[in-house]
Amino acid sequence: MPRNPPETSETLSAVCLCAEWCSTCRDWHAVVEQAAHEFKDVRWRWLDIEDEADLLDELDIDIETFPTMLLARGDQVLFFGPIPAQAEVLARLVSTLQSGSASALGLTERVATLWQRLRGRPD
């Protein structure tokens, strides 16, 4: 992925939660790479759920559908959930959240905790 911009309270962060064993995720990786080139002001991260199984288990977060995306700005999670594995859907979601025209609804405290723990880690 291209170099990420520095994180500020205004920076949109996009985390893709996938698994290497999943063929959809392997295909999705190229889509996320392309989005990272298109949306250079977004911080992108790839999180393999198998590598982070302990953290997800501890927070009782079960990823059942791939790809699952977490998008946040500063301390606030704006979106968490599965999306169709289509570049246009990802681009529309990122564009909508960049514009600030969306609000976060139905997000759990567990997801907020996951984001806080991920924020403190290097890319």
pLDDT tens digits, residue range 74-83?
888 999 999 9
SS3 per-residue string spanning 11-62: CEEEEEEECCCCHHHHHHHHHHHHHHHHCCCCEEEEEECCCCHHHHHHCCCC
pTM for the full model? 0.82
Residues 6+ apart with CB under 8 A from 108: none
Nearest CA to 48 among 87, 7, 20?
A: 20
pLDDT tens digits, residue range 14-38?
999 999 999 999 999 999 999 999 9
Q: For the chain, which domains are there?
A: 12-119 (3.40.30.10)
